[in-house]
Structure 1
Amino acid sequence: MMDLNSVVEKVLEKSDTRLETIYLVACGGSLVDMYTSDYFINTEAKELVAGLYTANEFNHVVPKKLNENSLVIICSHGGNTPESVEAANVARRHNAQSIGLTYNEESMLFETVDHKILYEWGEDTSVENNPMAIILNIVVEILHRQEGYAHYEAFKQGMHQIDDIVKNAQDQIQERTDQFADTYGKEEMFYILGSGASYGHAYGFSICSLMEMQWLHASAIHSGEYFHGPFEATDHSTPYILLMSEGPSRPLDERVLKFFKTYAKKYEVVDAKELGLSIIDENVSDYFNPILFYSVLSVYRYKLSIVRNHPLDTRRYMGKVEY
């Protein structure tokens, strides 16, 4: 399999002129891994445009701008998700290049895409080698080579720092996550709030960690949208998890916390600044929040699964019935 820089070089060499659009296509947790990259491009790029699509919608509602100046990045953990494999076929039919990411070297996805990236998976792997960080690295590299990215070196330095930050944060929260699980182990509904690049992981924690893995009701709310309807449901009986980002959208999260302190009772604050992310350059820190939050919230969901006696890999529909 090609390494990341080789893949980027091949993509840019094959492009007729310059890439105009990057489509980030996946399902479930793999789609969540792409949110940060979509946010990065649409925040930092002057010309390049990104689009984030759940695979089946991409296949049925094909973007009109999909063409030879497009790159489709497709991620499928096992590499055999039918909708994601078909997305590679859609890209090919429209003369767009495709990159496929999976941890399964024998996957159907690898039989279909133009460029292949095999990523590592497991507790002992570096977070830099997991799909969220890999995809972010790809789009940063493409943007830098096409348009220039003023904070490229700061971003690269952040990638070197994030693994230690994550490990320290996971050590730091062990007692806190035990207390969280004991306190909220019998709850059946959670609201998850976040902003900036982290909103994607608020969504991901709700649909994957809580709904899929724990069969709990959950919903993500953007911190900026909380005060435009959702805050009316705030009371002392409903639990909230607030992801407080480090970076330019932090004031949105702080505003929510201020309201919680007056009108809510059950809320857990996961603060990236408290967990050490502030050592990363402030110009790029926002893009590392989700990497930190994913690893930290993985501890939260594990501790919750123990208290609830509901293993994280238990399913009643996925892979068991026709759907």
Structure 2
Amino acid sequence: MKIQEEAKQVVQKAVKKMKSGGGIKQVIWVGAGGSFGGFYGANYFMHQESKTIFSNMYTSGEFIYAPPKSIDQNTLVVLCSMRGTSETIDSAKVAKNHNATTIALYVDESELVQICDFKIKYESLALDESRLERVNGSIGICIAMNLLEQVEGYKNFEIAMKTFDLLDHIYRKAVEYTIPLAKEWAEQNKDQKTIYVIGSGPAYGAAYVFSICNLEEMLQLNSPTIHSYEYFNGPFEVTDKNKSIFQLLATGKTRPEDERALKFEQRFGGKKLYVLDGKEIGLDDIEPAVSPYFNHPIFSSILNNVYMRELSYTTHESYETRRYMWKEDYK
């Protein structure tokens, strides 16, 4: 079954379940690390397109300790965890205790799947054989689009659903295109201890995941994530010719923010300024009306599977190693 149809069926069941209690008034996206970051695309879509459904994101820990008072029978909570992170499981319990309806995104079955009302299995972004429309970020967007279509109507729904069939092909072409570019970038940055990642709008989530999951977790490098507009409200003061800056250029309405940041970086930055443009990695092959909403899965997959890997190969540091994760007690 295609992910479009699977997401449609799950959302239909959730909408039906919630109808007697007044219907869906808000959707909350919950996860930890890359599972949390993967929901940026879905949340961004809802903010841009929905008139009646409030949408927000919470890390699993914050959702446990400080859940919003608005959670009730009119709330849909979508939770993501690859293997069943304990805090995400506890977040599902909090959601259920507040009478919310829940959907679990998962790879390996865990207590999360047992607690939640509905479930969708996804494929790990980090595996080469995974199809891009089946990774967690893509499924989150598909859920959001189906939710909007069923509750309010979404005029570009059919175009968006057809786009999911194109994603994997676009991604594979982008991998071929970026590998030689990433090798050159990695060689320039093999001795760098800090890499600034800058982006905005529909690509900000990909910038965030690249920083915390790829560069910091996997390669143990310092990597602040900076919003392209907020760059001018402090962070641009550290720009100089020795800094390593990785700028994402998104497609969509917020692109001028990225271009403004890039213009300044080109004036005062150096040879370690790098630009990854969504138009060059296939986002311009998607209908402009929906293209911005697919920035996240395409950028995130390229950053993880091309740029992070090439930097790992160049530095001879395995991206499988960890200092603390899964080794030290941090519960």
Bucket of the pairwise TM-score, normalised by the shorter protein: over 0.9
Q: Distance in 1 between matches of 2:158 and 2:198?
A: 30
TM-score, normalized by length of structure 2?
0.94
Which residue pairs with 1:148 in the alignment? 153
- The answer for unaligned runs of 5 or more in structure 1 is none
Deviates more, 1:246-255 or 1:84-93: 246-255
Which residue pairs with 2:61 in the alignment? 56
1:300 maps to which of 268, 292, 307: 307
Which residue pairs with 1:19 in the alignment? 24
Counterpart secondary structure, 1:235: coil
Which residue pairs with 2:11 in the alignment? 8
2:258 maps to which of 253, 260, 267: 253
Q: Distance in 2 between matches of 1:3 and 1:256?
A: 40
Q: Does 1:211 align with 2:216?
A: yes
Q: How does 1:169-180 map to 2 (within 5 A)?
A: 169-180=174-185
Q: Does 1:109 align with 2:116?
A: no
Q: Does 1:119 align with 2:122?
A: yes
2:292 maps to which of 279, 286, 311: 286
Q: Distance in 1 between matches of 2:303 and 2:81?
A: 21
Deviations 1:165-202 (A, max 9, x none): 11101001111111111110110001101111111111
Letter in 1 for 2:202: A
Q: Distance in 1 between matches of 2:95 and 2:7?
A: 20
| RMSD of aligned alpha carbons | 1.3
Counterpart secondary structure, 1:98: strand
Deviations 1:23-68 (A, max 9, x none): 1000000001001111111111101011100011001101111000
Deviation at residue 3 of structure 1 after TM alignment: 3.0
Contact 1:170/1:295 (<8 A) preserved: no
Contact 1:25/1:52 (<8 A) preserved: yes
Which residue pairs with 2:323 in the alignment? 316
Counterpart secondary structure, 1:217: coil
Deviating beyond 6 angstroms after TM superposition, the runs of 4 or more aligned structure 1 residues are none
Q: How does 1:49-198 map to 2 (within 5 A)?
A: 49-79=54-84, 81-105=85-109, 107-121=110-124, 122-198=127-203
Deviations 1:199-252 (A, max 9, x none): 111111111101100000011111111112211111011100001011111111
Contact 1:8/1:142 (<8 A) preserved: yes
Contact 1:71/1:97 (<8 A) preserved: yes
Deviations 1:248-293 (A, max 9, x none): 1111111111112211012110011012211211111111111111
Q: Distance in 2 between matches of 1:272 and 1:206?
A: 18
Contact 2:7/2:146 (<8 A) preserved: no
Q: Does 1:269 align with 2:297?
A: no
- The answer for unaligned runs of 5 or more in structure 2 is none
Deviation at residue 22 of structure 1 after TM alignment: 0.5
Q: Distance in 2 between matches of 1:120 and 1:177?
A: 24
Counterpart secondary structure, 2:166: helix
Q: Distance in 2 between matches of 1:78 and 1:309?
A: 28
Which residue pairs with 2:52 in the alignment? 47
Deviation at residue 158 of structure 1 after TM alignment: 2.1
